[in-house]
Structure formats: C-alpha cells, structure tokens
Structure 1
Amino acid sequence: MSLAPGQPSLRVVVIDADRHACEDTIALCRQCGVRVNGWAHDGTTGLELVESLPAAPDLVILDLHLPDMDGADLLLALSILAPATSVVICSAVCERIQDAALTLAIALGLQPLGMVPKPAQAPALLATLRACTRAGPAKQPPPRREAPPTRTVLAVDAAQVQDAIRSGQFKLHYQPKVALQGTSAQLQGAEALLRWRRPGQGLLAPCAFLPQVEAAGMMDQVTMEVVRLALRDWQAWSRAGLALPLSINLSPLSLTDPHLASELIAAVARACIPPTYLTFEIVEYAEVADLATALRMLIKLRLHGFGLSLDDYGAGHASMLRLARFPFSELKLDRQLVHGAWQRPHVRPLLRHAIATARELGVTSVAEGIETVEDMTLLRELGCDQAQGYLVARPMPAEAMPGWHLDRLRASALAPALRQEATQGRVLQLRRPAPFSAPGGDRKRYRGW
C-alpha cells in the first residue's frame, strides 16, 4: 500500500511522546512510500527539528499529549515557525478534543488534513497522505487575506447608498443549490449574493459595507434594490428557458418595518413572477427587536406564497425556539457544522437531528458549505434535501447561470454514454453550449470568488 505512482514525494515530521507509537507511524509512512525527515518525542525537540530543516516539511503528524507542552501550544508554535504547513492529529484523546484542535489549526493558518486514530493504521494514514498530495506542498505561507483599509474604515452614509442605487453600482452573484436525494443532482434554485462595485474599490463583498448600510438606516432600500435586480435576472433567465427558484437574504433589521412586506409583495406582482419562486432567508442568530411586527411580516409573506428560510441554523443560541415561532419553509444548516463533517463523527448526530427536525416539520433542509465529495456523501446519507457550496459551484454573475445549467444538464445526460464509451476504450468529448446573451449585453467571463 503506497501513494499512487507519479505523485510527488512527501517530507514528513512525526512528533509523538509514545516511542512505540512513533516508531509504528514512521514505519507506516515508509510503507506508504513517504520519506520521514525526522521525529521527536517532545514538542521542543520537534520544533527544533522543523526549524533545522532546509525547507518546511509537507506534513507534521503530531500527538496532543507531550511531556513539555500540550498540543494547543505546539500548534501555535508550529504556525509561527512553519506557516501553512499541513498537520494530522494522531492522538488517543477523545475525538471532540481532536476536532477542536483541527479547528484551532485552521484559525492559526495551518492546513489540517484530519485525524488518524491511535495507534495509526495504514488505510487511515494513507488517506491523509493522499490528501496532502492533493493539497500540494505548502512551503510558503499564502498571502494574507487582510481586508484593505477601505474595507475596515469604509464610510457609508445614506446619500452614498442612494447614489449607488441610482447609478447601478450594486450587483448580484448567484450560488446554485442542487438536490441531494435521487441520482441526477438537479438544480433546485440559487441564492442571490450582493456585491457593490464601488468606483476605485473594485467589487466589495457584503461584509465590507452592509454593517455600515444598516447603521445608516438604508437596509430596506438596499433590500428593495436587491429584489429589483433579482426579479430582472429571473425574467432574463425565464426568457432563456430557465425558471429558477431564488433565495434573497433579508436583514433582521428589516423585520421591524411594518410596510416592507407589502412593498415586496407589490414588487413581485409588478414583475409578474409567481411568489412561489422566491424565498427570503433570515439569519438565525440575529435577534428580532419587535417580535409582533416580525411575525406579522413573515406570516404575510407566507400567506402570499413566498418561502421563508432559517439561515445559518446551528450557529446561534435559539435555533429551536426560532424554528418554532416563525413559519419557515426551509432550514439551512450552517457551513461551520457542514464543512468537514465527514471527518468529525461527533458532529453527525447534530446534523442528523437537524435534518430529522426539518423533515418532521415538513420543511426543506439545505446544507451550506459543501466543498468535498465526502461531505456531500455524508449529508446525502443523513437525508439532507439540498446542497450548496463550492463543490457544486462558486457564486457567479447572473448571465453565467443559464450556461452553467446547460453544461450541467448536458454532462448529466451524457454520463451513461461516457461510462459506456469508457468501458469500450473510447473518449467522448463534451462541447460547451453556445454562450447565453442577456438582453443588452454579452456574456461575461465567469470568475469565481
């Protein structure tokens, strides 16, 4: 059992206080065709070993129980000494503590590849080694994603927001949602994600300006602009033969406006779009200042045929209470629960319970943050209805959606033929469909975030 031929060789450091376990791990690494640069039985020696190497190792396999420091301190020191290094936890401590250590590694800028039960077994270790080769060596730390000064000190007042609306600076990108149950993974809808193309500052994500927009008291106006843009895009898609359910985020601050529901209903009616195609997503962890006004608004929207989604379920403190109070038709599992769930066994009961709750209440369950086949497989096995995340597609401009959908349909339709051709030793080429042109403009080249 070894890495596949042609895969780059890895350089590994093992840090484990248990000498026998350390020797077994080293032997398994060598059995898998991996070169072990060195090993240590305490944290200090292990860090000195890493520092002495000509280049940072591709992978550090470490225990959390060491005689001179605990695993948390070792991860911190390793992140300073060798930023972005891949790490694997191989420890006898409980899985929840190991999972917390992996979360810490992410926060420190390391690349956690998962947990290997102790004593290490060849299949589990080989899986992490292969994951390391897929991720590629991380010798140089990635560029820090520090927000530019304009994002941290972005000054937004009501006049600027109004000017942005008038001049068409707000744009929407869309992230698809697909079915998890069944065999075709059909497109089920898309979430509208707001962007602001502000002159001189490029395309800004919501975190760069929405808090200031809310502080300026302009959230309702921005919400109506988002709805206007989404309805326009829906109409363009419909003319191209794509009638796609849309999800639009609704700020909790907007739930205090007693007139917003009527404005939303009127806007959709003017666009001649069935309300059943629109779902409004509400962030789960935000507090609702006026419960009576919020309930009146949400009930009104549901009575007129709109969907309501409880967003980021599991990230807040009153999930069940909120789910019981409001007439939601959809439950979106927070990406912090979903991402990497296949490597975190203790998270599975939480996901299973949330999905079962949604099913018993008759609402659709959607998993956000799906980035790996393993996570998608797990959520499918747990009975989740839909998936959304980078594994499905990154957010894209409106004009790219019909072409993406046609590509997906064609690939799905040709899959049986491709399998048959493969068994016969022939190759079948897949052509892209003709570009979709939205009214008044050419199709833009898609570039994901």
Structure 2
Amino acid sequence: MGAHHDAVPALRAVLIDGSGADLDAAVAQCRLAGIAVNGWSDSGAGALELIESLPVPPDLVIMELNLPDMDGADLLQALSMLEPGLPVIITSRHSTRLHDAALTLASTLGLDALAALPKPVNAQALRDAALSCEAASARNAAPTRAYCDAGLPRPDAGEVLSGLQHHQFELHYQPKASLQDGSLRGAEGLIRWRHPQHGLLSPACFLPQTEAANLVDVMTVEVVRMALQDWKRWHADGLSLPISINLSPLSLTDPHLAEELITTVNQAGVPPRAITFEIIEHEEIADLATALRILIKLRLHGFGLALDDYGAGHASMLQLSRFPFTEVKLDRRLVHGAARRPHMRPLLSHTIAAARELGVTTVAEGIELEQDRQLLRELGCDLAQGYLIARPMHARALPLWREKSAAAGKVTGTGTVIQLRP
C-alpha cells in the first residue's frame, strides 16, 4: 500500500470486464492505487446483479466498453437506472474520441463520469481518477454552493419581485487567476437569494420564474447595483477590480436596458472600462439587429464584452466573429479533464490561437485538476477559474483572500466577474 495512498480516498470499487486477464490486471492495479475492490464481474448482467446485492452502492464502477452480453452504451444506461449519480471510470482499447463520447453519454444519463482510461490501466491513472472522484464529492458538499433540490420550494414571481425590492439578493465571488504568473485577475460572481424563510437559494430556484415573469432586466439592474457597491468598497480599500456582469439573451431584445445600464454605471462614478458584460446564448438570437445595436452601444461607451460558455450550444466561432467581444470564456465541458482527452488539445489550441489573433482574452472555466491548468497554460490561455484556484466567497471575504494568497505568493492583481446563472 505505502505512503502514496494517503492522498487517495478510501473508495470501494466494482470492476466490470469481459477479459479475464484484463480483469485480473485491473484488480491488481486498483489495490496498488489504494482502491478497495468490492467485487468484479465478466458480464454486464452479472455486474448489475452484484451492485444490486451490495448493502450499499459502490463508490466507483470501473467498466470496459465491450462485454460478452451487452455493449458499454447499454451498460451505462442500465447503471444510470440502477444507481443515478454513480461515479464511473471507462476503460477500453478504443480511440480517445469514442472514450469521450462514452463519457458524455454517462454524464447525460446522470452518472458521474470521472475518466476514460486506455488499457492496460495503471495504478497512477486510477489514483488520479480517484482523486477527481474525491474532488467531485467535495464540490457536492461545499457549503458555499447553493442548490434547488426537489424538496426545496421554488418561490413564485411575486416573491422574487418582493425579494428584489427588499434587496434580499447578494453576490458571491470566485477568483480568476493568470495562467502565466498566478496573479489575481478577476472573480466570477454568483447571485444568491438570502430568502427569509428558505435560506440561501441558487439561481436554479428563482431564475426560471424571473424569466417567465419578465423580471430579468429588473434583476440585472439589481445585480449591477450590488456590483457597483462592491467595486466602490474594494476601491476605497485600495483594491480596484474590473467587474463583469452577465446579460441574459432576453436582455438583448430591449435597447432601453442598455441606456439604463450606461446611466447607472456613470452615476455611480465607476469608469465603464471597469465593467464587462457577459453574454450567454442558449438559443439563436432572434433579433440580430437589436442585439448588435445593444452590444455595439455598450462597447462604444467603453464597456467590455465577453462571450460565455464558448464551445457549448450557440456560443461559437460565428458569434465570436460577428460581435465585438473582448473576452471569450471556454466552457468547463471543454476544459475539465482536457489533459486526459488528447483530442481536445487541437480544439482548445485552435480556439486560443484564434482569440489571440483577434486580441481577445481567453478564460478557462472549470479548472479543478492541476494537469488541466498546466495544459491550458501550455496552450497560451490567459486566465483560469475553478475550484483549483478558489471556491466562491462573499464580497467581504475577497480582499482578505487576496491578502492571504498574496502573502503565500499565490496571487496578486485585480479583476472580477459577476454572473446570474448557477
């Protein structure tokens, strides 16, 4: 076992592989990695029966894509129905692109897709995947992260409006750091509702009602108000932080909102260059002329513009080319685990190089593994954010975090991002 296993969580795994030799090798490598083997099976049906017979579900399933009685796609579906959220590691001798597709299927089915490893598996790769499993568990248990489970109430639009009028919302910030020198360049802010009865609620609990009731612009103005207050407070303490604020696609249909945002920022005495508006697109913009007019207007007044969730949905090279963006944020689904997916390297490299040619800053979201940070740094990405850098924190805590990090030689500098989504 040895000291190397101290950092590996005490996971209990079930192994599924139709090859006896590969199964024996995987069992041996798991033990070298400090992972307890709860049981193994050489067939999909046998594995499902084994998992169902266990007193508690395993912490981890390590499975081959080719089995004598079913293929990996069907096994993933069966596992998702048997134990939703079950952590899974895929192993096979197939291409990395097929591995990545299988991981995507696992995630889509609701499983916790940790990694796809080429055969023969080795203890170090299993250990790294086990650590990512521990990181995922920590994320799910993080007290700073708010959720809207089925058991939590979803306040109606009237309550949302009342909460806005009584200033019950607040912003939490997650720092961004330079990938080249570690300096602090920003923080992603997350809006939360400090509900008087239900406690801290995430956007998932109130944004759908907000959008349905056409209150998105009202909420955006409230977010701007809070952000400007934080900017002034930090500035008074000697910390001048540029701020980015998310704009819903719904806001790109209202040209009057741009005027209101410009006026609000100017009246607060905050220079427009300190503000960047982030745009998330979940569907194609219906009124392109109005959206362009709004974004060009904001850019002409000195505000920055960021294309968020790049690489997902409609946030594409086409949008980057036709809007005057100053920043592009690489979606976490491209970034997380990229170091273990070799085919992602040319995709990320191309995007980063294109952004550099356009003079656009690149930000990698979802950095949680050191290998991913090293890869994005090597590819020339500018900034990183994620749990490897820091967890979200209240506005009052950010200056203190910066001081402690600077004292430890980790970060210096400025920059902040605010957004409405979870």
TM, length-normalised to structure 1:
0.80
The one-letter code of the counterpart of 1:257 is D
Q: Distance in 1 between matches of 2:31 and 2:229?
A: 59
- CA offset at residue 323 of structure 1? 1.1
- Conserved 8 A contact 1:370-1:388: yes
User: Unaligned stretches of 5+ in structure 2?
Assistant: 139-146, 413-421
Correspondence for 2:41: 40
Correspondence for 1:443: none
Larger mean Cα displacement after TM superposition, 402-411 or 283-292: 283-292
1:214/1:409 CA distance change after superposition, 3 Å: same
- CA offset at residue 34 of structure 1? 5.5
Correspondence for 1:387: 384
- Conserved 8 A contact 1:335-1:367: yes
1:192-217: CA deviation from partner (whole Å, max 9, x where unpaired): 32222233232222222223222222
Q: Distance in 2 between matches of 1:136 and 1:254?
A: 36
Correspondence for 1:69: 70
1:116-265 correspondence runs (5 A): 116-128=117-129, 146-148=149-151, 150-151=153-154, 154-157=155-158, 160-182=159-181, 185-265=182-262
Match status 1:309 vs 2:312: no
Aligned to 2:173, the other structure's residue is in SS state: strand
Q: Distance in 2 between matches of 1:106 and 1:310?
A: 25
1:172/1:71 CA distance change after superposition, 3 Å: same
TM, length-normalised to structure 2:
0.85
Correspondence for 1:353: 350
Q: Distance in 1 between matches of 2:112 and 2:20?
A: 25
Aligned to 2:186, the other structure's residue is in SS state: strand
Aligned to 2:93, the other structure's residue is in SS state: coil
Aligned to 1:88, the other structure's residue is in SS state: strand
The one-letter code of the counterpart of 1:231 is L
Q: Distance in 2 between matches of 1:134 and 1:296?
A: 43
Would you say how many aligned residue pairs link Structure 1 and Structure 2? 404
Correspondence for 2:95: 94
1:326-381: CA deviation from partner (whole Å, max 9, x where unpaired): 11000011112112222222222222221111111101001111222222222111
The one-letter code of the counterpart of 1:48 is E
Aligned to 1:259, the other structure's residue is in SS state: helix
The one-letter code of the counterpart of 1:177 is K
1:318/1:392 CA distance change after superposition, 3 Å: closer
User: Unaligned stretches of 5+ in structure 1?
Assistant: 138-143, 416-448
- Conserved 8 A contact 1:355-1:382: yes
- Conserved 8 A contact 2:160-2:206: no
The one-letter code of the counterpart of 1:164 is G
- Conserved 8 A contact 1:284-1:313: no
Higher relative contact order (CA 8 A, sep 6+): 2
Q: Distance in 1 between matches of 2:212 and 2:92?
A: 47
Correspondence for 1:436: none
The one-letter code of the counterpart of 1:60 is V
Larger mean Cα displacement after TM superposition, 123-132 or 295-304: 123-132
- CA offset at residue 54 of structure 1? 5.2
Correspondence for 1:114: 115
The one-letter code of the counterpart of 1:88 is I
Match status 1:336 vs 2:333: yes
- Conserved 8 A contact 1:253-1:288: no
Identity %: 58
1:412/1:97 CA distance change after superposition, 3 Å: same
Aligned to 1:371, the other structure's residue is in SS state: coil
1:51/1:400 CA distance change after superposition, 3 Å: same
The one-letter code of the counterpart of 2:400 is G
Correspondence for 1:295: 292
- CA offset at residue 313 of structure 1? 0.9
Correspondence for 1:4: 4
1:196-252: CA deviation from partner (whole Å, max 9, x where unpaired): 223323222222222322222222222122111111111011111110111101122
